[in-house]
Structure 1
């Protein structure tokens, strides 16, 4: 990207990889690419290093720490987009935090954390995420020709379809093309028809392998495998909340200490009065 007549911004990017491509590898590729184009570098004004974790794990069911944004795994698994998704998801998160703080004496930190995280990762959001995870995994196995074929077909889709996939979150533009199992199934069926034959065959094989290894993709594009458990349900049906016996013992010991302090204060007061 030219910034002036003799100042140009160059970027070398690894779209998605596991393990990630090193910064040095990207730099070496950039230098080789520039040399192949006959570009002579007279001065490096600034270097920028950027690492974007693609997707990441969703929070663990039962955890008490409430993450938001990238820490909550809202980074798009296929695109790396995060800011708009984070802002959109946090509206519901903030609403739930207010409700929990207003619960008064009934406040339960474990249940509160489950409900707050559950506002980000609803079953619908998990289903949509799993569909995008498949897309990211498919991209990682493609060579250069496969990537070219993939994106050639992707951008032949209607604008709303591909833009909705890139955003991929409730209340963001064009999400109606991806917010349910049927729209995602339609998207996938149309997308395959836009791909070069070799890439389409590879995707069909990947779908079969993915389906064999778990229910995530099936839940994303069909109603037959049910839906993921909510964070509320996973908390509600736990047999206990941690080591109950240890917690009860600790509570008894702390209460005993409080009584000891009260007794000591009383004895001190009596001695002073005497």
Structure 2
């Protein structure tokens, strides 16, 4: 019997598996294709999120020239951005798993049964794996975790290409967090859910350009995103000369939290850890895995504790009352962003990035306390346009149930 069984081998699975191994636990993994396996998506992060952890060596690229184009402004963000080297990131976690002598099994979780001192996961092939606690890190459609249903899931969607172009699609050595300029679209197209360009210069005349929908319900289709990207490039007289990689990205931004009473702990997308305001998650995985793992390691020391009690301790660490209050505030913000038309949305972001960098950067990293979050939101409210302010006040009334949850906990 293992101390912990981790379901999934994506970034979330490897992050929590490595942290559990660091705690000296006997850990097993279950995945359809055990690692190492190539990850096709790109993962970006602000460099100052990695510096306290001394992990900037995991980056393949860094950009000091980070900008945003919103409300007819080019805003210099003054913050260094990085792109993970997926192989280095994966190896960083796998090397720690190897030191802990972690065992990986190939398969999927088909059934789960809880006993007094362990949980048992069975694969479709009949392989049974027992552990004191099971950690479901299998993504947004988790294998084992249960969560309330929602009829209005908002999705971030993106279509991107890595390649060479007839002329540079962005400035040399530049990273573009968001380019909401829409002069390439017709008036009717601009009434549809807004999208923006996320782009970076990868060097050697290679660029990554991606048309992105921040959040929408239903999701903006890949076909629309591809058409918009092609129109954006053509409007600037840029032709695609060589495609080296195509990226499709689709994930939910506002999944309900899983039931925190269940005897399985979640991590990553399975545990609704995607940042509701940005869609980022890797930074949170790196920061929060050690704390969750330490809680689990302490809980399994009591050999008489059932899986339910171990899971309860881990859930309380992952989703404390303060973390849940902050998430509710982020969800309130997300609802606002989805209601804004293109002009209001751009005005909002122009105001947001004019806040003190310490505020907007920590807001995007989810490292503020609840009072600090409220202060940041009030600062934005006081310095934004009348139109944005009116829309926020209207949302405060229509989404008063969300705000009440923040107050009562």
| TM-score when normalising by structure 1 | 0.71
Aligned length: 210
1:117-132 matches, cutoff 5 A: 117-132=315-330
- Mapping of residues 3-82 of structure 1, within 5 Å: 3=202, 7-82=206-281
- C-alpha contact (below 8 Å) 2:329/2:403 kept by paired residues: yes
2:360 aligned partner: 162
Q: Is the 8 A contact 2:265 2:314 kept in 1?
A: yes
Q: For the Cα contact (< 8 Å) 1:55–1:74, is it kept in 2? A: no
Which of 201, 204, 212 aligns to 2:390? It is 201
Question: 1:45 deviation in Å?
Answer: 3.2
Higher radius of gyration, 1 or 2 = 1
Q: Identify the range of structure 1 (18-27 vs 43-52) with the bigger mean alpha-carbon deviation.
A: 43-52
Q: Considering only aligned residues, what root-mean-square deviation do their CA atoms show, in Å?
A: 1.9
Q: Which moved more, 1:40-49 or 1:143-152?
A: 40-49
1:63-102 mapped onto 2 (5 Å cutoff): 63-102=262-301
Structure with greater helix percent: 1
Q: Offset of 1:218 from its aligned partner?
A: 2.9
Give 1:8 deviation, angstroms.
4.0
Judged with a 3 Å threshold, the aligned counterparts in structure 2 of structure 1 residues 96 and 32 are, in CA distance, closer, same or farther, namely same
Structure 1 residues 5, 192: CA separation in 2 closer, same or farther (over 3 Å shift)?
same
Contact 1:55-1:78 within 8 A present in 2 as well: no
Cα distance in 1 for partners of 2:322, 2:349 equals 26
Matched, 1:187 2:376: yes
CA 1:209–1:4: 2 relative to 1, 3 Å: same
Distance 2:331 2:357 in 1: 21
CA-CA distance at 1:3 after TM superposition: 4.9
Gap change, CA 1:102 and 1:36, over 3 Å in 2: same
For the residues of structure 1 that align with 2:239 and 2:326, how far apart are their CA atoms? 46
Query: 1:94-243 residue pairs with structure 2 within 5 A?
Result: 94-105=293-304, 107-169=305-367, 175=368, 179-180=369-370, 182-211=371-400, 214=401, 216-220=402-406, 222=407, 225=408, 227=409
Distance in 2, matches of 1:45 and 1:187, equals 41
Counterpart secondary structure, 1:12:
strand
Change (3 A) 1:117 1:2: closer
- What is the deviation of 1:2? 4.7
Deviations 1:197-240 (A, max 9, x none): 111100111011111xx2x32343x4xx3x2xxxxxxxxxxxxx
Shift of 1:5: 7.6
Report deviation, 1:59: 1.9
Runs of 5+ in structure 1 lacking a partner? Answer: 170-174, 228-274
Q: Are the structure 2 counterparts of residues 108 and 192 from structure 1 closer, same or farther at C-alpha, using a change threshold of 3 Å?
A: same
Please report how far the alpha carbon of residue 4 of structure 1 lies from its aligned counterpart in structure 2 after TM superposition.
Answer: 6.0
The Cα of 1:7 is off from its aligned counterpart by 4.6
Query: How many angstroms does 1:167 deviate by?
Result: 0.7
Q: Report SS of the residue matched to 1:50.
A: strand
Tell me, yes or no, if the aligned pair for 1:70 and 1:86 is still in contact at 8 Å.
no
Classify the secondary structure of the residue corresponding to 1:13.
Answer: strand
**Mapped partners of 1:168, 1:2: distance in 2:** 27
CA displacement 1:133-163 (0-9 Å, x = unmatched): 1111111111211111010110111111111
